[in-house]
Amino acid sequence: MLFLHEVGEIVSRFALGENPVLERVVSRGELGQVWRLETSTGTWAVKELFHRESEDDTRLSAEFQEIAVRAGVPAPAVVRTADRGVSLDLDGRQFRVFSWVDVLPPDPDLDPGMVGVLVAGIHRLGHPSMRPARSWYTEPVGAARWHQLFQQLIAAQNPLGERLAELEDELCDLEELLEEPSELQQLHLDLWADNVRMTATGGLCVIDWDNSGPGDPRQELAAVLFEYCSGRPARTRALHDGYVDAGGPGRITRPEDFSMAIAQLGHILEWQCGNWLNAANAEERRHAEAAIDEHVSRPLTRQVINEILVALA
């Protein structure tokens, strides 16, 4: 929760106006939670980060988001403090503030052409990255770790443990495809349905730029094709055509182009399995189990990758 003195400090430091009215948490994700704040000057999204980010990381993600907004990518505006900072530490907690956008619930069935145009707009920025790609997006979890993890889940009577064990060989085979990104630029890196939303006024909006960083456009495009189109050739072609027609630079031609999706989804699954095993209470365990079920119910497999490639051929 946010205490009255914390709200006052946030309003003051970010120069948000007067007469603040704070609603309860309106959105909670894996990395943070968001309150809706109304003041005399407008409506704002106040985000608390669960895992503290360095000053350099917050600055780089904020600058990239600002570049995208100036180029016409639909995204919330970054609100800075009076001294041009992008985050505020209060009592050991880290906060950021953005303009408020009324977004609808996550929907992987968004219009694929619109999604393609949106992703192309981000990729056309061509914003250079001064850092190497992060291991979360490039490195395998590894066969030994998968086997250990799934055996632990089965021993702990996880209801999805056996189904996960059936995916073990597939996960290991997918990781054989991993290759380093070759055309690095600054990307969003988290364009799953949770972060690409339809707005109340009918357009799309990209939220949660905190994880933006170096990546290869073709690898991010491959992840987007899986998220919004897998198993549906017509949607696959519509998204890809929208992307290409809008000037998107990425091209998908090989299974290796799915490297980022393979690594990222693998690390997310590993993390959620660990969260289930280490859950402090029933609510945390239910949350982790729901996240694991998403992977089990719609896994990225070699067959899915091949279907996407066939649809694009």
Residue 1 predicted with pLDDT over 80: no
Note whether 255 and 309 are within 8 A (CB). yes
pLDDT of residue 235: 98
CB 258 within 8 A of CB 300: yes
pLDDT score, position 19: 94
- The pLDDT tens digits for 158-214 are 999 999 999 999 999 999 999 999 889 999 999 999 999 999 999 999 999 999 999
Which of 211, 185, 188 lies closest to 127, judged by CA?
185
Cα 174 to Cα 155: distance, rounded to the nearest angstrom: 25
pLDDT of residue 55: 83
Contact (CB, 8 A) for 18 and 39: yes
Least-confidence region, from 30-34, 94-98, 216-220, 254-258: 30-34
* DSSP codes of every residue in 160-177: THHHHHHTHHHHHHHHTT
Nearest-angstrom CA–CA distance, 218 and 207:
21
CA 258 – CA 256 distance, rounded (Å): 5
Are the C-beta atoms of residues 42 and 99 closer than 8 Å to each other? yes
| Digit-coded pLDDT (tens) for 37-66 | 999 999 999 999 988 888 888 999 999 999
- With a CB cutoff of 8 Å and minimum separation 6, the contacts of 83 are none
- pTM for this entry: 0.94
pLDDT at position 49: 92
Q: Which one-letter amino acid corresponds to residue 65?
A: Q
Top pLDDT among 28 and 295 is at 295
**Structure confidence at residue 130 as a pLDDT band (50, 70, 90):** confident
Q: What is the DSSP string of the chain?
A: ---HHHHHHHHHHTT--SS-EEEEEEEE-SSEEEEEEEETTEEEEEEEESSPPPHHHHHHHHHHHHHHHHTT---PPEE--TTS-S-EEETTEEEEEEE---BPPP-TTS-HHHHHHHHHHHHTT----SSPPPGGGT----HHHHHHHHHHHHHTT-TTHHHHHHTHHHHHHHHTT----SS-EEE----STTTEEEBTTS-EEE---TT-EEE-HHHHHHHHHHHHHTT-HHHHHHHHHHHHHTT------SGGGGHHHHHHHHHHHHHHHHHHHT-SSHHHHHHHHHHHHHHHHS---HHHHHHHHHHH-
pLDDT of residue 91: 84
What is the per-residue pLDDT for 230?
83
What pLDDT is stored for residue 52 in this prediction? Answer: 85
Q: Which residues pair with 98 in a beta bridge?
A: 45, 78
**How many Cα neighbours within 13 Å face the side chain of 26?**
16
58-to-78, 87, 231 alpha-carbon distances in Å:
11, 7, 37
Say what percent of the chain tops pLDDT 70: 100
- Across 282-292, average pLDDT: 94
Q: pLDDT digit string (tens) for 133-159?
A: 999 999 999 999 999 999 999 999 999
At 233-249, the pLDDT tens digits run: 999 999 999 999 999 99
pLDDT value of position 121: 98
